[in-house]
Amino acid sequence: MWQLQENPFGGDAINSYNDGPPASGAKQLGKFYELESSSPALALQPNQSATHVHRTIHLQGSESDLDAIARAALGVGVEEIKRVLK
């Protein structure tokens, strides 16, 4: 939030989004699951700097192909992901 915060160094470093079925009558943006990294809030002094690297990777394929990727990257398969995101 772009305002003075009580705890400016608290908060999420990683967010996740699941664009599942929308509310009744609402338009669905698309069928996707997103993991997003956020850079940390740093109290930098003059002439100090920080770097945050963020990559966007879009994967598309058969459920069996995506299952192998999910297991390697997340440690769980597509069926478990679908079950917990219902």
Report CA-CA distances (Å) from 8 to 21, 39, 62, 71. Answer: 34, 13, 42, 35
14: Cβ contacts below 8 Å, ≥ 6 apart: 35, 36, 37, 38
pLDDT level of residue 1 (50, 70, 90 thresholds): low
Higher pLDDT, 30 or 84: 84
pLDDT of residue 85: 76
pLDDT, tens digit, for every residue of 4-57?
878 877 777 677 777 666 778 777 776 777 777 777 778 889 999 998 887 778
Return the domain boundaries, the chain.
57-86
pLDDT bracket for residue 71 (50, 70, 90): very high
Reported pTM: 0.47
Q: Which phi and psi (to 5°) does residue 44 adopt? A: -85, 140
